[in-house]
Amino acid sequence: MRKLIVGNWKMNGSLASLAEIDAIAQAGQDYPKVDVGLALPATLIAPAAAHAGGLIIGAQDVHARPSGAFTGSLSAAMLCEAGARLTIVGHSERRAMQGETDADVQAKAMAGLAAGLHVILCVGETLAEREAGHAESVVASQLELSLPGDADPAKLAIAYEPIWAIGTGKVASVADVAAMHAAIRAKLAELTGPRAAQFRLLYGGSVTADNAPGLLATADVDGALVGGASLTAANFVPIIAAAAL
């Protein structure tokens, strides 16, 4: 399976960052076996897409509806028109801060897919849920309630992002990631049948150049969703290189 490495810039970056995006796009060309993307703030999508080359430019969220009275929101068609080819849905920061439910996330994923966007659907447990032994059941339930049933594995990837590992420098152990990704694959088999083997499963949460080789060599880890370490080519390109090994 081709590996997919996507940077999530969150609320970072300005027009001055286009040089950094260019540097990432240029370096990405050295790794033709890896799919590389950047989920950018909406203001950077059009200018970045104009000279992205093979780099997949994406958004961090999409509205479920095609148009209407939804102040501040962007539809999938608007994102496509700006040059986005991908969107994240269900990031834990949006689930927590915007109160997005699994049903909301599913509707967003369906809207993105219908418009032709690649979708990265995020799932993951809190520290309390992990400590209580519920990590796998929480993630299984998120999948069951948010994965569009007819999703094409070529267009949708799952990102497992344990919430306690995001932006904390605490990366999940390779053993924990392997166990969770196997559990996700098993749940996908229940939900999608034989298509399950074809979905790319990304790990996210404090991925760096140092831990990427170990994580990306783990069974059922088909890529990474990278926050902080995706903001500069110097930090992000070694992660792309690790995916090419």
- The dihedral built from the CA positions of residue 233, 239, 243 and 245, taken in this order, carries a sign that is positive
Tokens of 103: 């049903």
Tell me, what amino acid is at 45? I
Q: Is 206 in the site for ligand PGA (CB under 6 A)?
A: yes
Quick one: 17 or 206, whose CB is closer to ligand PGA?
A: 206
Task: Write down the catalytic residue from 118, 136, 161, 181.
Answer: 161
Quick one: 223 or 227, whose CB is closer to ligand PGA?
A: 227
Instruction: Confirm if 231 and 23 have CB atoms less than 8 A apart.
Output: no
Q: Is 207 in the site for ligand PGA (CB under 6 A)?
A: yes
Instruction: Confirm if 94 and 138 have CB atoms less than 8 A apart.
Output: no
Q: Is 53 in the site for ligand PGA (CB under 6 A)?
A: no
Stretch that binds ligand PGA, among 111-119, 148-156, 188-196, 223-231 (CB under 6 A): 223-231
Burial of 200 (0-12, 13-18, 19+ CB in 10 A): buried
- Could you tell me how many residues of this chain bind ligand PGA (CB under 6 A)? 13
Strand partners, 172: none
Tell me, what amino acid is at 113? L
Site string for ligand PGA, 165-194 (x = CB under 6 A): -xx---------------------------
Instruction: Confirm if 200 and 225 have CB atoms less than 8 A apart.
Output: no
Q: Which of 45, 156, 225, 231 binds ligand PGA (CB under 6 A)?
A: 225
Q: Which of 86, 226, 240, 242 binds ligand PGA (CB under 6 A)?
A: 226
The answer to whether residue 91 is catalytic is yes
Q: Quick one: DSSP state of residue 150?
A: T
Quick one: 110 or 229, whose CB is closer to ligand PGA?
A: 229
CB-based contacts of 72, cutoff 8 Å, min separation 6: none
Q: Is 116 in the site for ligand PGA (CB under 6 A)?
A: no
Binding site for ligand PGA (CB under 6 A): 8, 161, 166-167, 204-207, 225-229
